[in-house]
């Protein structure tokens, strides 16, 4: 019996069932690709932000070492950004000699001698110019000296005024006049003793939005007074948030406030240690009033409330004026909050945390928008758990969370560690001493406050920048 053979007909297309199968497979693959790209996006937002922070901090350290003046990084939780402040020299004078009535300056900004300024005296670097109490150098009024966002003036001084009475003021450098519209900034030395000569460096900045002509005033604490007939380096600077006074490279006064002027504009009692002890705070950032009607002078300065110009007695060397400006902001991705235990991170000239501002580690945290929940109930100061509600649970084996709270319109962030998750609750560790560990701003939290799993960057006092991983 022969075999029965079935002859197949040529296929002209795919069947409906095959088409449905292909579509189903394509949908699965597409879903896998979307999930993959979504995961990449999640990793990019949370890991990229932490990497950007580390990169900016390390660039600030390099800048601090290169300039020898240190560097500053600010964290703005409202704008969800981090940025560095840099300085750039706008004017500098070496004071090595005088050509007729002109002492050469950098960038073509020469100084004109007024009075009996003499040359050829030993300086901090090379030679210097000497001032006898009624003379000065006029550096003109180019627009670059009208720094309104931030400015730094610095110089070496050798005060020599044995006949000046205690409490009297020597003028070192400034750009201001008695006209409030032309009041910008000024630096001086207050005589605190005549036998031997002692002086307290001081300075002031006049703000743009203040019709009463109040100012931010600085005066070195008694521990930072300088001696007569010795070289000392003095600098004052303002960045829109804080005014700082340095003596021989050390922070001698910090003022993040504005205070009304007295008859004595440099009687600021603000202690330098700790520098966080400031006067009444103002809303930052602020701008310096552009002193367009005043020339920059060296060897003389005018504090507007006094109404008269005061002059230097002694030598000055290597004066400089620098702009203080913020670099390009690194903004966090949408939905990624940022918080720091310190509003500003200060590096010294060796790239370490500046001990004048920091007594320990600094922490910067970014929240993960893909691991976010809300408090299911109020949390007291002594709580041992965080009750959470939401679709994105925290890692069960421990970590660090970032909590946002509001009080009277003010926003606060706090970092808290937990070691395990029990259902919807996070079991906290070291909750009561979190202030010391993480620079706590708030003591308690309310139901509904958002909670993020946090990526944390730490800067040690030695300047080591790295990630904090728990456990």
- Tens-place pLDDT, residues 95-141: 999 999 999 999 999 999 999 999 989 999 999 999 999 999 999 99
Question: Looking at the domain assignment, is residue 238 inside a domain?
Answer: yes
Question: Looking at the domain assignment, is residue 9 inside a domain?
Answer: no
Question: Looking at the domain assignment, is residue 173 inside a domain?
Answer: yes
The per-residue pLDDT for range 43-57, each reduced to its tens digit, is 445 667 888 889 889
Q: Are residues 358 and 406 in the same domain?
A: yes
Q: Are residues 75 and 104 in the same domain?
A: no
Among the ranges given (186-190, 216-220, 351-355), the one the predictor scored with the smallest mean pLDDT:
216-220
Q: Are residues 73 and 181 in the same domain?
A: no
Among the ranges given (161-165, 283-287, 398-402, 457-461), the one the predictor scored with the smallest mean pLDDT:
283-287
pLDDT category at 468 given cuts 50, 70, 90 is confident
177 vs 150, which has greater pLDDT? 150
Residue 141's nearest CA partner among 117, 104, 112, 171 is 112
Question: Looking at the domain assignment, is residue 112 inside a domain?
Answer: yes
* Final residue in a domain of this structure, among 326, 361, 377: 326
The per-residue pLDDT for range 435-455, each reduced to its tens digit, is 333 333 346 788 999 999 999
Task: Say what the pTM is.
Answer: 0.74
Q: Do 170 and 188 meet the contact criterion of CB atoms below 8 Å apart?
A: yes
The per-residue pLDDT for range 190-216, each reduced to its tens digit, is 999 998 999 999 998 888 765 555 678
Q: Are residues 128 and 261 in the same domain?
A: yes
pLDDT greater than 60 at residue 22: no
Please report, for residues 100, 109, 185, the alpha-carbon distance to residue 182 in angstroms, rounded to integers and kept in the order given: 30, 20, 9
* Final residue in a domain of this structure, among 326, 351, 369: 326
How many Å apart are CA 25 and CA 109, to the nearest integer? 74
274 preceded by a cis bond (ω within 30 of 0): yes
Domain containing 152 equals 86-326
How much of the chain, in percent, has pLDDT values that exceed 90?
36
Q: Are residues 443 and 353 in the same domain?
A: yes
Q: Are residues 380 and 301 in the same domain?
A: no
Question: Looking at the domain assignment, is residue 291 inside a domain?
Answer: yes
How many Å apart are CA 339 and CA 77, to the nearest integer? 6
Question: Looking at the domain assignment, is residue 11 inside a domain?
Answer: no
Question: Looking at the domain assignment, is residue 8 inside a domain?
Answer: no
What pLDDT sits at residue 440?
38
How many Å apart are CA 184 and CA 397, to the nearest integer? 56
Question: Looking at the domain assignment, is residue 27 inside a domain?
Answer: no
Q: In 10 A of CB 367, how many CB atoms? A: 27
Q: Are residues 195 and 112 in the same domain?
A: yes
Give the count of domains, the chain. 2
* Final residue in a domain of this structure, among 296, 326, 356: 326
What pLDDT sits at residue 165?
92
Q: Are residues 285 and 413 in the same domain?
A: no
What pLDDT sits at residue 264?
52
Residue 279's nearest CA partner among 301, 260, 262 is 260
pLDDT greater than 90 at residue 231: yes
The per-residue pLDDT for range 313-356, each reduced to its tens digit, is 999 999 999 998 777 778 888 888 888 888 889 898 899 998 87
State the residue for tokens 């009041």. Answer: 183
State the residue for tokens 């001696």. Answer: 227
């Amino acid at each position: 019996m022969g075999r029965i053979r079935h002859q197949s007909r040529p296929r002209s297309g795919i069947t409906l069932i095959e088409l449905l199968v292909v579509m189903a497979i394509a949908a699965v693959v597409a879903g896998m690709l979307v999930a993959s790209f979504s995961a990449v996006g999640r990793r990019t937002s949370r890991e990229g932000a932490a990497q950007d922070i580390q990169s900016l901090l390390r660039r600030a350290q390099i800048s601090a070492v290169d300039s020898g003046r240190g560097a500053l990084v600010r964290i703005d939780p409202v704008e969800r950004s981090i940025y560095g402040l840099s300085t750039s020299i706008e004017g500098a004078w070496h004071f090595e000699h005088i050509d007729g009535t002109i002492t050469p300056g950098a960038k073509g900004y020469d100084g004109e001698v007024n009075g009996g300024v003499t040359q050829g005296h030993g300086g901090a670097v090379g030679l210097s110019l000497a001032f006898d109490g009624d003379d000065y150098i006029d550096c003109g009024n180019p627009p670059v000296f009208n720094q309104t966002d931030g400015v730094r003036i610095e110089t070496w001084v050798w005060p020599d005024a044995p006949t000046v009475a205690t409490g009297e003021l020597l003028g070192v450098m400034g750009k201001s006049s008695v006209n409030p519209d032309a009041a910008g900034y000024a630096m001086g030395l207050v005589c605190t003793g005549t036998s031997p000569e002692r002086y307290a460096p001081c300075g002031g900045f006049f703000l743009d939005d203040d019709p009463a002509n109040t100012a931010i005033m600085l005066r070195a604490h008694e521990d930072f007074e300088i001696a007569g007939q010795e070289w000392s380096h003095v600098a004052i600077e303002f960045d829109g948030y804080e005014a700082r006074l340095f003596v021989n490279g050390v922070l001698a006064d910090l003022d993040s406030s504005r205070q009304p002027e007295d008859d004595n504009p440099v009687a600021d009692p603000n202690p330098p240690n700790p520098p966080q002890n400031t006067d009444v705070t103002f809303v930052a950032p602020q701008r310096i009033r552009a002193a367009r009607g005043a020339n920059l002078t060296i060897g003389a300065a005018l504090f507007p409330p006094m109404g008269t110009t005061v002059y230097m007695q002694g030598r000055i060397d290597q004066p400089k004026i620098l702009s203080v400006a913020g670099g390009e902001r690194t903004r966090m991705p949408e939905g990624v909050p940022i918080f720091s235990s310190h509003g500003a991170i200060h590096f010294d000239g060796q790239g370490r945390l500046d001990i004048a501002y920091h007594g320990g580690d600094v922490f910067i945290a970014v929240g993960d928008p893909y691991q976010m929940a809300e408090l299911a109930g109020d949390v007291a100061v002594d709580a041992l758990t965080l009750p959470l509600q939401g679709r994105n649970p925290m890692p069960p084996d421990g970590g660090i969370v970032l909590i946002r709270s509001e009080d009277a319109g003010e926003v606060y962030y706090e970092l808290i560690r937990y070691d395990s998750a029990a259902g919807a609750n996070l079991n906290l560790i070291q909750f009561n001493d979190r202030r010391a560990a993480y620079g706590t701003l708030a003591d308690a939290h309310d139901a509904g406050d958002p909670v993020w799993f946090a990526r944390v960057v730490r800067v040690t006092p030695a300047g080591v920048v790295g990630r904090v991983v728990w456990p």
